[in-house]
Amino acid sequence: MNWKKEIKSWGLILSFFAFLYFTGLLPVIQGALQSVLLSTGLITPSLSPTDRTDEDFDYRGRFLSFEGEEINLEDYRGKTLFINLWASWCGPCRAEMPHISELYKSLKNEPNIEFLMIGIDNQLEKSQKFLEGKSWSFPTAHASYGLNSSLQSESIPTTLVISPSGKIVFYQEGMSNFNTDEFRNFLLDQ
């Protein structure tokens, strides 16, 4: 008799998650919970070198701003460049965006540091719609023309920092709270 109760419980749980999935609420809730986790400071970027660190960055590439203007990667040469690849359906991407926004606000007046948040949704409109009404502040673009070899990644979110000399000095797949003093100083020291 106990197994009927067990099946009913699992049915309710699965129904709940199916509802969240099919209504599109799952990434919203997942992102919110992960953002709270990031706020604890338990998940911060590791500044240890990776296999992509010290690789030359490929400045060939262009993107489309949400205002319809073309953005050329070549325009960022000679500056420290923070790049984040994200998608509207990605919960971890949603989770780290408020923290990246705060980092950007603290550094936006630094003349040698640039930020570029690149949406990789299949359609520009999906990325644009996702950002509408958000209070986040950072420069955004869409990968309408594709991604060059330096920006190819196995997962999202992916974050890179490019030095003024054109080297990848930071590469991470996965979410982090980048709004830390250590990471801010890392960007300032490039």
Selection from 56, 70, 79 nearest residue 149 by Cα: 56
In order along its 190 residues, the chain shows pLDDT tens digits of: 577 777 877 877 787 777 767 777 777 777 677 766 677 776 778 888 788 888 999 999 999 999 999 999 999 999 999 999 999 999 899 999 999 999 999 999 999 999 999 999 999 999 999 999 888 999 999 999 999 999 999 899 999 999 999 999 999 999 999 999 999 999 999 9
Distance CA(10)–CA(143), nearest Å, equals 41
The fold of the 39-188 domain, in CATH, is Glutaredoxin (3.40.30)
Domain ranges for the chain: 39-188
DSSP notation for 121-159: -SSHHHHHHHHTT----S-EEE-TT---GGG--SSSSEE
The whole model's pTM is what?
0.82
**Beta strands 80-86 and 158-162: pairing type?**
antiparallel
Beta sheet of 62-64, edge-to-edge order: 70-72, 62-64, 140-142, 113-119, 80-86, 158-162, 168-173
